[in-house]
């Protein structure tokens, strides 16, 4: 199973947490959780981020339910 598929499976299983920072950004951008989830299911990994002390993250770009989501970062 590829990286994006693993992330998508965690969404399906509801096996993920959204940070308070992510929730604040969603409010600022008028996004809902379903926009982020849809972007992950319809999107692609745009970049692998390896310079974070918290671990490797993946920048995903895709279409939300209502409009495009520029990027969201997921850590697996």
Region label for 14, one of left (φ > 0), alpha (ψ between -120 and 50) or beta (otherwise)? left
Q: Please check whether residue 7 is in contact with residue 36, taking contact to mean a CB–CB distance below 8 angstroms.
A: no
Residues 12 and 45: their CA atoms lie apart, in Å, by 18
Pairing of strands 57-63, 68-75: antiparallel
Q: What is the pTM of this model?
A: 0.82
What does the DSSP 8-state code read for residue 27? H
Query: Could you read off the pLDDT tens digit of each residue along the chain, which spans 76 residues?
Result: 899 999 999 999 999 988 898 899 889 988 889 999 999 999 999 999 899 888 888 988 888 877 778 666 666 6
Residues 34 and 52: their CA atoms lie apart, in Å, by 26
């Amino acid at each position: 199973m590829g990286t994006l598929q693993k992330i998508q499976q965690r969404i399906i299983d509801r096996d993920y947490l959204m940070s308070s920072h992510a929730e604040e950004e969603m409010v600022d951008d008028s996004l809902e959780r379903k926009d982020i989830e849809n972007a992950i299911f319809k999107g692609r990994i745009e970049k692998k981020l390896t310079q974070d002390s918290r671990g490797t993250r993946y920048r995903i770009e895709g279409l939300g339910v209502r409009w495009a989501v520029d990027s969201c970062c997921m850590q697996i």
